Amino acid sequence: MDKTIVDILQQAGLLIAELWLLILAVAVLLLDVFSKRKRGYLTNALAIAGIIINFYFIYTTSQKYPIADQATFYFFDSLAVYRYTYLFQFLFNTSALLCLCLGMFGRDNKNVRRGEYLALIIFMLLGLHLLAKPANFLILYLAIELISFSAYMLTYFNLNKWGTEGSLKYLLFGAFSTACMLYGISLLYAFTGSIDLEALQQIVMQTDQVASLLIVGLILVGLVFKLAAFPFQGWAPDTYEVAPTPFVAFLSVAPKIGAVFIITLIWQQLDAINTSSQFLYYLLSFITLGSILFGNLGALWQKKAKRLLAYSSIAHTGFLLLPLFNNSTNSMEPLLFYAFIFMIMNTAAFAWVYFMEVRLKSDKIDALSGCGKVQPFVSVLLLVIMISLTGLPITAGFTAKLFVFSELWQSISTTNTLASIVFIAGLINVLIALYYYLKFPYTAFFKNPPVTTLPFVLNVRQASFILVMTIPLIVFFFKPDWLLVLIESLS
Amino acid sequence: MLSDFGYILLFILGGLMFFSISMFVAFLIRPQRPNEEKQTTYECGEDPVGNAWGRFNVRFYVIALIFILFDVEIAFMFPWAVIFADNQLVQETQGTWLWFVFGEMLLFISILLIGLIYAWQKGFLNWDKPIAKVPDFKSKVPNDLYEKLNKEYS
Amino acid sequence: MITIIILLCTENLKSILFGFSASVLLTLPLAMFLPEVYLFTSLFLFSAGISVFLVKKNAIVMLIGIELMLNAANLNLVGFNQLYAAQANGQAFSLFVIVVAAAEAAVALAIILKVYQYYNTAEPDDINEIKEQ
């Protein structure tokens, strides 16, 4: 028993990044409560500095607790370091950093620099850090709830009437789906007596088909809801529309990628045994095809930029899940490449929308008209972002889609016939997406603004933020191996 | 050695003692100036008898929300208390176990305390009273005229 | 078929009946290989929670439904811990669930209070302004 303390103290270093985030959140909250300056730039700068320091803590943890091909377990098998744990933590951290940097813009938008807002973003990041290394369902459940509660509250932070509505609906359905997931976990415990992720293997091998499918299905409900994928995507457009835009840039990327990571973990557990796999592939193709189709068709008729991007992110969820069809071990790399590029281009797009909101107090796409004539260079950046979101050449969005689809192609050539349908449908959908993404640059370049209003322009700081976000999209098209080297070095 | 139900009896006795001692001390210390409002069951002015569908003041909810969080914190303290003074563990580790476990609980409570400080500093614990508006309208009809009328017709 | 049942269940008594019948339907296939009492009770609680969530209109009552679902999971965790008594995994899990449920109630009530301030109602069906904005 003496070993207990020694073990805990030795392994406490694994949680140093999480502890740092906890301290940071508390510090931000207290600074905001006690500081006299009400503009909030100071607290935001503190939060940004803290998150930059957190990169160092992730680095030291990765040196001290190195990754291996197999997961290594800590804290009496409740936490684990998987091969891609630190990479995902790096990704979440970057996404939060970009979100907070966006908050620095907009003199009148004080709400995105409030202490509570910043602290909740950091708490959400803490939950995401835990989500990158769960070894049992307790940690997984707690991480998901930490992320969700922060998200429910953050949705309201425009502090207006519509904010409460979106927040309430998000909360009710979110709580419902996590309750379903929890019930699945409790059934799993009832049948196997274990709450480890490995218990899933046991349940599929030992018990009846109906029970195991019920359990796996219930657990997937909670995750698919977090993912905003097909059967549970309904909350996304409303929530995205009312939430503060910098937060949406975070919400539409980080929790989504986290949920994909957890689904891959569960997939690996289930894939080890091949009993019910055929059904699982039906389920997977239902989710992916559904979200791609629903996202694209929903986006076609949208007039507001934020709603359009919400539907587009539902479609991107489907593409993120495509590599799961291939059950070989290295299938994480295309997913990670896609996740990185998705983070950059989605944040850039939402940054653009946020700048529109800051200046015009509206996110109608029509408000862009005439922008291309006044600021041709900046509008070309918009064109690049949108082409990248569609997935066409000379942008990294194309490379990401190429990797994902080639992964899918391999799984067609090996066994899976189902994958071929998904492959063709996915390619058709890229063409559909072209229509609504090009609405943005089309309006900017070819539509004339009403005579009474001045066209929308970005100031120098805003334009340089967009430029910084756009450069990687072009660079990684010509040099995708640079990003792959980064992924390789962290995994 | 006590049986299991003996412990429960001890708890009941302890609870009664705690209750009666604190009430007695309060009885000694407090000033006694009763009035009709103070004699009601809930001093805050809520009527204990009446329709169950009645609405409570919104300000009670804020206090209740903060109370819930500190109330539920106790749920973690019971399992903690069971292993805190575990003789075997304490002897095996020469007492470091006590410090370690105590430090963990201290960390947990201090995080909650920061929440309380936050709520306090933001003024969520203040019972903001509604300010009664005194109308600045001056009527030409003097007040005693009303009283005369009242007397006449009552 | 299911939608007809849901439509019929607008009244109190019927919603309870619906919950019970749904629980029986869900229980039958499971009961064949794990005949434990906890499972019946928790399944009843879970389906009652789902039916309350689906049938009721007030947001607070919907939350009560969600709490019922969480408690169903708790019952499973605590009850089945008896079978696997070597570790107290299930009981520890249920403690965390209780605390998370309390936090959830706090967050939800705070949001519902705000909604009530703006809309003067707490029924999600009546609150539909985002699309008209």
What is the C-alpha separation between C82 and C87, in angstroms, rounded? 10
CB C57 within 8 A of CB C123: yes
CA neighbor of C66 nearest in space, from A216, A240, A252, A145: A145
Strand-pairing partners, residue A136, are A196
Instruction: Tell me the average pLDDT across A277-292.
Output: 82
Per residue in A88-133, pLDDT (tens digit) is 999 999 999 999 999 888 877 888 888 899 999 999 999 999 999 9
Nearest to B118 among A8, A9, A33 (CB): A33
Which residue type is seen at A111?
N
C-alpha triplet A436, A437, A442: angle, nearest 5°: 90
Cβ separation of A189 and C89 shorter than 8 Å?
A: yes
Per-residue pLDDT at C51: 92
Cβ of B61 under 8 Å from any chain C Cβ?
yes
CB A47 within 8 A of CB A102: no
Q: Which residues contact C24 (CB under 8 A, 6 or more apart)?
A: none
Closest-approach residue (CA) in chain B for C107: B65
In a domain, C132, yes or no: no
What is the C-alpha separation between A477 and B109, in angstroms, rounded? 51
Nearest to C33 among A137, A162, A207 (CB): A207
Per residue in A162-202, pLDDT (tens digit) is 899 999 999 999 999 999 999 999 999 988 888 898 888 88
Q: How many of the other CB atoms lie within 10 Å of CB of A312?
A: 24
What residues of chain C, 88 to 127, have a C-beta less than 8 Å from chain B?
A: 92, 95, 98-99, 102-103, 105-106, 109-110, 113
What residues of chain B, 66 to 105, have a C-beta less than 8 Å from chain C?
A: 68-69, 71-73, 75-76, 79
- Alpha-carbon distance A183 to nearest alpha carbon in chain C (angstroms): 5
- Alpha-carbon distance B147 to nearest alpha carbon in chain C (angstroms): 41
In a domain, B90, yes or no: yes
ipTM beyond cut 0.95: no
Lowest mean pLDDT, pick from A82-86, A180-184, A228-232: A228-232
In a domain, C131, yes or no: no
Per residue in B43-65, pLDDT (tens digit) is 766 777 777 676 777 777 778 88
Closest-approach residue (CA) in chain A for B91: A2
Work out the pLDDT band at C11, boundaries 50, 70, 90: very low
Highest average pLDDT, of A106-120, B68-82, C48-62, comes from C48-62
CB A256 within 8 A of CB A187: no
Work out the pLDDT band at C10, boundaries 50, 70, 90: very low
In a domain, B40, yes or no: no
CB A123 within 8 A of CB A153: no
CB A288 within 8 A of CB A301: no
Which residue type is seen at A268?
Q
Nearest to B114 among A1, A26, A34 (CB): A26
Per-residue pLDDT at A48: 94
The tokens for A9 are 């103290």
Q: Number of residue pairs across A and B with CB atoms under 8 Å?
A: 25
Q: Is the pLDDT of residue C3 over 90?
A: no
Burial B21-42 (b: 16+ CB within 10 A, else e): eeeeeeeeeeeeeeeeeeeeee
The tokens for B110 are 């201090």
Per residue in C113-133, pLDDT (tens digit) is 889 888 888 888 888 877 766
Per-residue pLDDT at C2: 42
Per-residue pLDDT at A19: 92
For chain B, which chains pass the contact test of at least 3 CB pairs under 8 Å?
Answer: A, C
In a domain, B4, yes or no: no
The tokens for A263 are 């689904």
In a domain, B136, yes or no: no
Nearest to A162 among C96, C100, C133 (CB): C133
CB C26 within 8 A of CB C47: yes
- Alpha-carbon distance B132 to nearest alpha carbon in chain A (angstroms): 28
CA neighbor of A78 nearest in space, from A149, A124, A15, A17: A15
Domain that holds residue C46: 2-125
- The 3-class SS string of A392-444 reads CCCCHHHHHHHHHHHHHHHHHHHCCCHHHHHHHHHHHHHHHHHHHHCHHHHHH
Cβ separation of A4 and B114 shorter than 8 Å?
A: no
Q: Is the pLDDT of residue B72 over 90?
A: no
pTM of the model: 0.87
Per residue in C76-113, pLDDT (tens digit) is 998 888 888 888 888 999 999 999 999 999 899 889 98
Given CA atoms A292, A294, A299, A304 in this order, what sign does their dihedral have?
negative
Nearest to B96 among A1, A5, A26 (CB): A5
Lowest mean pLDDT, pick from A126-140, A357-371, C15-29, C77-91: C15-29
Q: Is the pLDDT of residue C8 over 60?
A: no
- Alpha-carbon distance B89 to nearest alpha carbon in chain A (angstroms): 7
The tokens for A424 are 């063709």
Per-residue pLDDT at A33: 85
Closest-approach residue (CA) in chain B for C114: B58
Per residue in A306-323, pLDDT (tens digit) is 999 999 999 999 999 888
Per residue in A24-52, pLDDT (tens digit) is 999 999 898 888 777 788 899 999 999 99
What is the C-alpha separation between A256 and A290, in angstroms, rounded? 16
What percent of chain C is predicted at pLDDT more than 90?
29
Q: Is the pLDDT of residue A274 over 80?
A: no
Cβ separation of B92 and A29 shorter than 8 Å?
A: no
Per-residue pLDDT at C133: 62
H or E stretch covering A72 = strand A72-74
- Alpha-carbon distance C11 to nearest alpha carbon in chain B (angstroms): 19
Work out the pLDDT band at C9, boundaries 50, 70, 90: very low
Q: Which residues contact A161 (CB under 8 A, 6 or more apart)?
A: C118, C119, C129
The tokens for A397 are 């969005």
The tokens for A104 are 């620095």
Q: Quick one: angle between helices A254-271 and A115-131, nearest 10?
A: 20
Q: Is the pLDDT of residue A367 over 50?
A: yes
In a domain, C133, yes or no: no
What percent of chain A is predicted at pLDDT more than 70?
96
For chain A, which chains pass the contact test of at least 3 CB pairs under 8 Å?
Answer: B, C
Instruction: Tell me the average pLDDT across A65-94.
Output: 88
In a domain, B43, yes or no: no
Chain A residues within 8 A of B68 when measuring between CB atoms: none
- Alpha-carbon distance C49 to nearest alpha carbon in chain B (angstroms): 22
Per residue in A386-406, pLDDT (tens digit) is 999 988 888 898 999 988 888
In a domain, B104, yes or no: yes
Q: What is the CATH number of the domain that holds C51?
A: 1.10.287.3510
Work out the pLDDT band at C27, boundaries 50, 70, 90: low
Q: Is the pLDDT of residue C19 over 70?
A: no
Cβ separation of C103 and B69 shorter than 8 Å?
A: yes
In a domain, B142, yes or no: no
What is the C-alpha separation between A75 and C33, in angstroms, rounded? 34
DSSP string computed for B28-78 = HHS-----TTTTSSSTTS--SSS-TTPPPPHHHHHHHHHHHHHHHHHHHHH
Work out the pLDDT band at A349, boundaries 50, 70, 90: very high
- Residue whose pair of structure tokens reads 């058709």 in the numeric block: A428
Q: Is the pLDDT of residue C5 over 70?
A: no
- Residue whose pair of structure tokens reads 């005229």 in the numeric block: B145
Per the structure, how many domains does chain B have?
Answer: 1
B118, B120, B121, B125: best mutation site toward chain A, by most A Cβ within 10 Å? B118
Q: Quick one: angle between helices A332-360 and A396-414, nearest 10?
A: 150
First to last CA, chain C: 36
Classify residue C96 as left (phi > 0), alpha (psi -120 to 50) or beta: alpha
Chain B residues within 8 A of C109 when measuring between CB atoms: 61, 65
Per the structure, how many domains does chain C have?
Answer: 1
Domain that holds residue B85: 56-127
Per residue in B6-45, pLDDT (tens digit) is 888 999 999 999 999 999 999 999 888 888 777 777 776 6
Cβ separation of A30 and B96 shorter than 8 Å?
A: no
In a domain, B23, yes or no: no
CB A44 within 8 A of CB A103: yes
Chain C residues within 8 A of B72 when measuring between CB atoms: 98-99, 102-103
CA neighbor of B121 nearest in space, from A159, A30, A122: A30
Which residue type is seen at B48?
P
Per-residue pLDDT at A310: 93
What is the C-alpha separation between A266 and A268, in angstroms, rounded? 5
- Alpha-carbon distance B146 to nearest alpha carbon in chain C (angstroms): 39
